[in-house]
Structure 1
Amino acid sequence: MTKITKLSLIAALTVAGTSACAQPLTEAIKNVDVSGTVAYRYNDYEEASDHANNNYKIGLNLSSKVNDDVTANTRFIIGAGTGEASLGTSTDSDRNVDVTLSEVNFTYTGVKGLAVTVGKQAIDTPWTVARDSMGNEQTGTGLVAVYNVGPATLVGAYFNQTNFNTTEASSELTDAGLTALDGSEDIYVVGAMATFAGVTLDAFYADLDDVFDSYTVGLAANYDVSGVKLSPFARYTSLDLDAADLDNNLWQLGLTAKAGIFEGFVAYGETDDEGGVVYFDSGAKTNMDYHWRVTAEGQGDAEYLYVHATADVTDNINVGLFYSEADYTTDNDINEVYAQVKYQMSSNFATYVRFGELSVDNTDEDGSMGRLHVEYSF
């Protein structure tokens, strides 16, 4: 985060509102931390009818210390809702995008090891993506308590309003027998994480009222073997729909190996015959979304494989080759292969270029694909 001493009039009024009567305006501005991301992305997919589009998103976080124990937090998104604004090059004019106040909350840290956040905030769970520089974010109104004790962290959360009705998984779960979500459903989450001797174990349980209950268990480790850094991981997730006799499951294993300038990655996963919709966001930890357009989409008896190799050719330039495949019982198997060049100009500014090929069996939904992504963080 970057401490600033000057804000625009709008930002200053926002801070003053969140800490009204708590401190003078000059002190409020002095105690504001600002962070966020600015991202632009250009996609060009040959198989799409409007094959090219421009994507924009700015996320701005303002955090103001109210007193020694309480911090006021807000997040603004310039995009479309909590996601990016996507403008097709042939169907959209170069219009302006929307501004959304996506988070407004207060965090209490007056007890050692404990943080309690109340209000509208990001829903940070293994099933969701809480913050994303280019993509949708899950938010809700409720309470989250996090308690650190020794090597363990305990988490408890309750939300009575969410934006789950806008998620990609909502339609997939509806197809699987779920009543359509409207965002008013209560959700309860409890979990624990602990690290011992380089091994991190986490276990979480979630109950979306009258909709489903789900649990996930994950394991990650880091080892140094003869100069090679090995990072294996594993996760199993089960999601049981209340209104249908369906138990979705997805298990996955993976390994990252890094030696010198080279890095290799492999991950493999399978769903059971009833389905694999075990997430709200495809980029969540409970899902498999390690490369570009091949993700675990919830089909039953599916197998997924991700492999890539990268190299740091200079201090600022990384090149890589990526392969992904999804094997479905419907025979509409998907695979992609692409090359990527990433340029890290500085620690807070990076860009990458991708070009490759997407193949979908028995359909015309394939062809070449390209992407340019530019991102600044502050």
Structure 2
Amino acid sequence: MKLIRLSLVAALTAGAFSVASATPVEEAIKDIDVSGVLRYRYEGANFDKDFPGRKSDLMMSKQNHLYRAQFNFSAAIADNFKAFVQFDYGAKDGGYSNEATLNEKKTLAVRQLYLTYTNEDVATNVIAGKQQLNTIWTDNGVDGLVGTGVKVVNNSIDGLTLVAFGVDSFMTEEQEGDMSGFLSNIMGSSIGNIYGAAAIGSYEALGGDFNPQLWLAYWDNVGFFYALDVAYSTTIFDGVNWTLEGAYLGNSLDNDTQVGSDNGNFFGLRGSIEVAGWDASLGGLYYGDKDKYTMTTIEDQGNIGGVLAGQEIFYSQGSNLTGSMGRNLFGYITAGYTFDETVRIGGDLVYGGTETAAHIGGGKKFEAVARVDYKYSPKLDFSAFYSYLDVDADKNGDGDHNAIRLQALYKF
């Protein structure tokens, strides 16, 4: 272990170990694995004065500096048992902002804390405690939704991972707008635990890689959720890689979940090709109901990024994946070129529309996104995007929205 890591762990754990045991700190922590994330974001956005519909789910502030730090500690504490704790810190500086609060921070807090039991004889892990959910309906990145519960993961069948879970006590405060729309209206009601299962496969078939996922979940007092994601990739010619991915997410909501709500159905399909540093994709999406509120994901855009494109369009009114009133049909293309396997320059074009019986949110929508990604090292990445979103509403005029994000991400 590097000296800098040993010093950091010692500083964070010295008090606990010195009180609980006479064992020297360096001896007690020598088997602790340390990892983490440091992230900085600059965001800026503005709206045309005639921009229709609700703006709150889109990137709003004219200028924001966002900071995130996470420190993870994992240690074997007994035979077959490991303990994991994640400390998290976030802050925001508003600068030139629309918001009244220009500086906002939260103290260092325990974000995840769980115990893992491993039985190698049956290739099974049991994870109990406060943990990130990592489902198809939630974000699996740094900001993913956290809940308290039990997860069982089994890998006894070659090429297949089986998962079962039950969670409650969802940490929604840090998500802010990521759980907006439909879901924010029901969070205050008497919702219960989520119980679910998944089968995630990884096989070689027909000369390529076949990766299916099946997810089932029941959210007490909300409804039954189900999802299927299937991806197939292969090399069709020398040096030409081709991928096809399709996803369906559906749900059957309880009748009293929310007045004016209906069951959700999402269909997404994307074909991609890579050759000699170039990449391109073509895809389409269909979801929602023009007369009633529906939802596709529980948090943000879930873990269905493989069939999405664009950036801000899925936060616009009528199109929000976490819940909106509107029937959506979009098509998109993406393209890019990667230099020396380190710098990618590319863009997305998304076009379609939202049909709604209400006088808000409906109309034609178009988004163009320019992207730059720079992999400086295996641990350090820089990225940036610029998004131009135009909404031509049926009854409420039209307007555009511009947004930019610069990001530095370090993982250790």
The CA distance in 2 between the partners of 1:261 and 1:74, in whole Å, is 40
Number of matched residues?
A: 368
Q: Point out where structure 1 has 5 or more consecutive residues left out of the alignment.
A: none
Residue 336 of structure 1 corresponds to which residue in structure 2? Answer: 367
Displacement after TM superposition at 1:14 (Å): 7.6
8 Å contact from structure 1 (residues 122, 139) kept in 2: yes
Return 280-289 or 141-150, whichever deviates more.
280-289
Cα distance, 1:326 vs. partner? 4.3
Alignment of 1:1-378 (within 5 A): 4-13=5-14, 16=17, 25-47=25-47, 50-79=61-90, 85=92, 87-90=94-97, 91=99, 92-93=101-102, 96-112=105-121, 113-132=123-142, 136-149=143-156, 150-164=158-172, 168=177, 171-173=180-182, 179-181=186-188, 185-197=192-204, 198-226=209-237, 227-244=239-256, 246-273=262-289, 276-286=294-304, 289-295=308-314, 296-297=319-320, 298-330=324-356, 331-362=362-393, 363=397, 365-378=399-412
**Residue 365 of structure 1: CA displacement?**
4.9
User: 1:353 is matched by which residue type in structure 2?
Assistant: A
CA contact (8 A) 2:266 2:288 kept: yes
Shift of 1:307: 1.7
SS at match of 1:5: helix
**Secondary structure at 1:247 match in 2:** coil
User: Secondary structure of the residue that 2:330 maps to in structure 1?
Assistant: strand
Structure 1 pair 94/163, CA: closer, same or farther in 2 (3 Å)?
Answer: closer
Instruction: Tell whether the 8 Å contact from 1:2 to 1:34 is kept in structure 2 after alignment.
Output: no
Cα deviation for residue 317 of structure 1 reads 2.0
Q: Is the 1:2–1:35 contact (alpha carbons within 8 Å) kept by the matching residues of 2?
A: no
CA 100–334 in structure 1, closer or farther in 2 if over 3 Å, else same: farther
Aligned pair in 2 of structure 1 residues 171, 44: CA closer, same or farther (>3 Å)?
closer
What letter corresponds to residue 150 of structure 2 in structure 1? L
- Give how far 1:348 is off: 1.2
In 1, Cα distance between the equivalents of 2:21 and 2:127?
Answer: 21
Q: Where does the alignment leave 5 or more consecutive residues of structure 2 unmatched?
A: 48-58, 357-361
- Residues 342, 104 of structure 1: CA spacing in aligned structure 2 closer, same or farther, 3 A cutoff? same
Identity %: 22
> Residues 155 and 192 of structure 1 are in contact (CA less than 8 Å); yes or no, is this contact kept in structure 2?
yes
- Greater relative contact order: 1 or 2 (C-alpha under 8 angstroms, separation 6 or more)? 2
Contact 2:309/2:334 (8 A) holds in 1: no
* TM-score, length basis structure 1: 0.86
RMSD of equivalent CA atoms: 3.0
Q: Is the 8 A contact 1:43 1:52 kept in 2?
A: yes
Residue 223 to residue 16, structure 1, CA distance change in 2 (3 Å): farther
Provide the TM-score with structure 2 as the length reference: 0.80
Question: Once the 2 structures are TM-superposed, how far is the Cα of residue 50 of structure 1 from its aligned partner?
Answer: 4.1
Distance 1:361 1:174 in 2: 26
Per the TM alignment, residue 99 of structure 1 is displaced from its structure 2 partner at its CA by 2.2
Alpha-carbon distance, 1:328 to partner: 0.4
What is the distance in 2 between the residues matched to 1:366 and 1:336? Answer: 9
How much has 1:333 moved relative to structure 2? 2.9
